[in-house]
């Protein structure tokens, strides 16, 4: 007779495996179905914002990642063409302490994070299958999941299916969740590199020079994750056989003192790029099914929110399940909170896109004005929400008039 499970999670990435650990720890019989036998580097999140680290701590998962090599990154240096490097270093700030109890950010390789959490789910008592194919899901009062594993066809009938299978979610598609998206804003590409540089392993940066928005995150030892955000018009420069070389050379920037050292680094991963846009849904639940993480809709990755969003989903959904009512109505607080959370993060992300990933002289001046108004003149800005959490700032920070005031000539 087939084993019985209370919850089947489709997708054993960071969100799915974290959910598996939390449920298994409370005695829920949980199965995780993961497509990949080996986690691939597809260029995904490797920097977790402080509010995500806070979620990780609340879920009791932070030590699992730091014990496996995750590093805390405390400092932000605002390198940008609008100021010389020494001035950017003077303006560098520590993230812990921005708000009470705010932890630092955390960096770790994405495949390593997936593997570590997936192993921890097994250790907590979750049943995990990797290499699962041909998933078919049905919602309803008696939901079901069918799949192929090795040569066997399997069907499970849990009480609840959790769709955690990422941005191309089959659960989302098969059950015809109504998704919305805005037009693509630009392209974002990334690559892992190694080499001796003087980049401080406790700091990250995000800035703009010329027609690129660059981001640098330390990954421990001699490794750095580099991301570049650029216009669709610039696509040819970062495709084809020279794309890795061109990405490295793009870091030779006047505003970046270690740019030359970074350009000498060796690529140690593939370079993938993606179009940046927001995807969301008014309701990530159906009878017997709840979507979490990217499967439930994701923000433009420019502000690096996906990992934090997924972990908050895990906390809210697992708290609801722990309260014992697993009906669709019980998930309403999750539906409402997520909708407003994604709206605020989308708003902040679109502001950052306009500020940092639109290029040219007018855009440079606008960025300088907005930066002065926020940092010197004390104008409200939605920007810190990407570090401290979407719920912390007052509602009016997420209104168009706030952005208009920051951007005005
Ligand atoms: C270029 C880029 C940069 C980013 N940078 C950041 C960042 O710095 N910080 C940040 O917080 N976020 C970042 N993100 C977003 C972040 O990577 C995602 O939000 C996060 O990975 C979502 O986690 P997830 O577990 O929901 O989905 P995923 O990480 O996509 O995991 C889904 C899992 O489901 C599995 N799966 C897929 N289909 C099936 C199937 N049919 N059956 C079974 N299993 C399946 C996959 O193999 C995978 O393991 C970035 C995204 C991109 C594209």
- Tell me how far apart the alpha carbons of residues 382 and 365 are, in angstroms, rounded to a whole number: 19
| Residue 58 to residues 55, 333, 361, Cα–Cα distance (Å) | 5, 19, 44
Of 162, 172, 188, which Cα lies nearest the Cα of 303?
188
At 247-280, the pLDDT tens digits run: 999 999 999 999 999 999 999 998 989 999 999 9
Cα(161) to centroid(ligand 1), Å: 18
Indicate the domain borders of the chain: 7-69+108-182+279-343, 75-97+186-276, 348-407
Of 130, 163, 128, which Cα lies nearest the Cα of 145?
163
Q: Which atom of ligand 1 is nearest to the CA of 46?
A: 8
Give the residues of the chain that fall short of pLDDT 70. 1-2
- Tell me how far apart the alpha carbons of residues 400 and 220 are, in angstroms, rounded to a whole number: 39
Residues 6+ apart with CB under 8 A from 251: 214, 216, 226, 259, 262, 263
Element (H, E) at 40: none
Contact 3, 158 (CB under 8 A): no
Q: Does domain 7-69+108-182+279-343 have CATH number 1.20.1250.20?
A: no
The answer to whether the CB of 188 is under 6 A from ligand 1 is yes
The whole-number pLDDT of residue 222 equals 93
The answer to whether the CB of 12 is under 6 A from ligand 1 is yes
The burial class, CB within 10 Å (0-12 / 13-18 / 19+), for 73 is: buried
- Tell me how far apart the alpha carbons of residues 164 and 157 are, in angstroms, rounded to a whole number: 17
- Tell me how far apart the alpha carbons of residues 295 and 11 are, in angstroms, rounded to a whole number: 9
Identical fold, 7-69+108-182+279-343 and 75-97+186-276 = no
Output the six-digit token pair for 144.
Answer: 């079901």
The answer to whether the CB of 305 is under 6 A from ligand 1 is yes
The answer to whether the CB of 164 is under 6 A from ligand 1 is yes
Cα(34) to centroid(ligand 1), Å: 12
Cα(247) to centroid(ligand 1), Å: 23
The whole-number pLDDT of residue 1 equals 52
- Tell me how far apart the alpha carbons of residues 250 and 212 are, in angstroms, rounded to a whole number: 8
- Tell me how far apart the alpha carbons of residues 217 and 47 are, in angstroms, rounded to a whole number: 7
Q: Which CATH architecture has domain 75-97+186-276?
A: 2-Layer Sandwich (3.30)
Cross-strand pairs, 387: none
The whole-number pLDDT of residue 2 equals 63
- Tell me how far apart the alpha carbons of residues 262 and 310 are, in angstroms, rounded to a whole number: 31
The answer to whether the CB of 279 is under 6 A from ligand 1 is no
């Amino acid at each position: 007779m087939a084993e019985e499970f209370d919850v089947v999670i489709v997708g054993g990435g960071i969100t799915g495996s974290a959910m598996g650990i939390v449920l298994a720890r409370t005695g829920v019989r949980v199965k995780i179905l993961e497509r990949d036998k080996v986690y691939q580097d597809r260029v995904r999140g490797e920097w977790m914002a402080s509010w995500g680290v806070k979620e990780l701590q609340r879920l009791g998962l932070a030590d699992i990642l730091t014990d496996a090599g995750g590093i805390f990154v405390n400092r932000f240096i605002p390198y940008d063409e609008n100021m010389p490097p020494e001035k950017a270093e003077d303006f560098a700030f520590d993230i812990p302490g921005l708000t009470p109890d705010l932890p630092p950010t955390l960096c770790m390789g994405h495949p390593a994070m997936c593997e570590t959490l997936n192993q921890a789910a097994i250790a907590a008592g979750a049943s995990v299958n990797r290499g699962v194919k041909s998933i078919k899901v049905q919602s309803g009062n008696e939901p079901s999941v069918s799949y192929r594993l090795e040569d066997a066809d399997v069907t499970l009938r849990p009480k609840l299916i959790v769709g955690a299978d990422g941005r191309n979610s089959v659960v989302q598609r098969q059950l015809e969740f109504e998704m919305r998206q805005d037009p693509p804003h630009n392209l974002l590409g990334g690559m892992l590199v190694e080499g001796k540089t003087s980049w401080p392993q406790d700091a990250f940066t995000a800035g703009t020079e010329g027609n690129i928005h660059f981001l640098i995150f330390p990954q421990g030892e001699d490794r750095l994750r580099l991301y570049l955000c650029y216009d669709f018009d610039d696509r040819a420069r970062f495709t084809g056989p020279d794309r890795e070389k061109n990405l490295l050379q793009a870091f030779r920037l006047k505003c970046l003192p270690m740019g030359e050292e970074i350009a000498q680094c060796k690529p140690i991963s593939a370079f993938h790029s993606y179009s940046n846009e927001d995807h969301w849904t008014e309701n990530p639940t159906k009878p017997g099914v709840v979507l979490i993480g990217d499967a439930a809709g994701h923000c433009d990755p420019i502000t690096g929110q996906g990992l934090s969003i997924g972990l908050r989903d895990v906390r809210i959904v697992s708290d609801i399940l722990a309260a014992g009512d697993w009906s669709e109505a019980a998930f309403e607080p999750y539906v409402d909170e997520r909708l407003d959370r994604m709206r605020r993060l989308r708003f902040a992300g679109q502001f950052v896109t306009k500020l940092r990933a639109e290029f040219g002289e007018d855009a440079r001046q606008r960025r300088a004005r907005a930066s002065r108004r926020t940092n010197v003149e004390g104008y409200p800005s939605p920007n810190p929400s990407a570090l401290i959490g979407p719920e912390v700032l007052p509602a009016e920070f997420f209104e168009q008039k706030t952005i208009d005031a920051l951007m005005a000539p």
